């Protein structure tokens, strides 16, 4: 399993956290989603057939921004 960690902005409340988790859970191959609202970070576990760009797009489509 691959893992990726992002620092993100836009996690204002638990509603956005739930939307983000639900959106990521719909992507085939994602096996783990850990969102830390206090630290504005997210960790995603996924298999090798999952495109990491799809994960990034999903995060941004929910309204969060990935901080590089």
Q: Identify the pLDDT of residue 44.
A: 98
Q: Identify the pLDDT of residue 13.
A: 86
- Give the list of residues 6+ apart from residue 53 with CB closer than 8 angstroms, or none: none
Domain residue extents for the chain:
2-67
Instruction: Over range 52-58, report the average pLDDT.
Output: 97
**Residue range 12-46, pLDDT digits in tens:** 888 999 999 999 999 999 999 999 999 999 999 99
Question: Thinking of the domain 2-67, which architecture would CATH place it in?
Answer: 2-Layer Sandwich (3.30)
- Whole-angstrom Cα distance, residue 50 to residue 17? 21
Predicted structure pTM score: 0.91
């Amino acid at each position: 399993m691959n893992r990726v960690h992002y620092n993100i902005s836009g996690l204002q409340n638990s509603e956005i956290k739930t939307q983000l988790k639900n959106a990521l859970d719909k992507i085939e191959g994602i096996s783990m989603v850990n969102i830390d609202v206090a630290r504005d970070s997210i960790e995603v576990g996924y298999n090798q057939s999952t495109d990491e760009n799809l994960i990034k797009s999903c995060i941004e489509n929910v309204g969060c921004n990935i901080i590089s």
